Chain A
């Protein structure tokens, strides 16, 4: 069964303190690993898709990387507005397009 585990569950950072979020996955025939940001009371907002080991993508202070077993979301010099829950999801080869989600990492950045 396809599975996704995110760690840590919660992370508190001071503004400017860089860190990484982890997403470990087990999937048959990866067809994409997805990162989303979710603000309280809102739907998930798409950030990145990664398709193959070694791939990296960047957006402002965020950089996502992928290996054969895990993905990292690196946050460089975070700001309070980066506070949110970050969700990781994978799509396998035989799942008719559905995603399997991790439970998320709740990030709080304080000034």
Chain B
């Protein structure tokens, strides 16, 4: 089975803190994604990566950055957390074929106070 693991399920951070959300996949997938999910807004793509050290902006990249130094690991970074970044963050991965399925992790609930 595909396994996408997000290291933290629940986090509480203070405004202005630097926050790291880590994600690891065990299926040697080329593509990795970070989404955030908010009530009424659905899933919105923050960043994605189709190869090591490569990244592409999604629909809402402002206030976020990402790092992909190894194929299996994709990190989301909030340089200076703000209360409007309180949300559920979902990591996902897929292989590079055009029709291939994206598999999701369990999510990380981030609260910024």
Contact = CB atoms under 8 A, between A and B. Distances in A.
Contact of A98 (B4, B33, B105): B33
A87 interface: yes
Interface string A29-55: 001101010000111111001010000
B106 A49 contact: no
B101 A97 contact: no
Interface centre among B50, B94, B104 (most CB of A within 10 A): B104
A96 B48 contact: yes
Given A42-B107, A43-B106, A44-B104, A97 B40 contact: no
Contacts of A31: 98-99
A101 B107 CA distance: 16
Contacts of B92: 43
A102 B40 CA distance: 11
Contacts of B109: 41
Nearest to A42: B106
Nearest to B105: A43
Interface of A: 31-32, 34, 36, 41-46, 49, 51, 87, 89, 91, 93, 96-99, 101-104
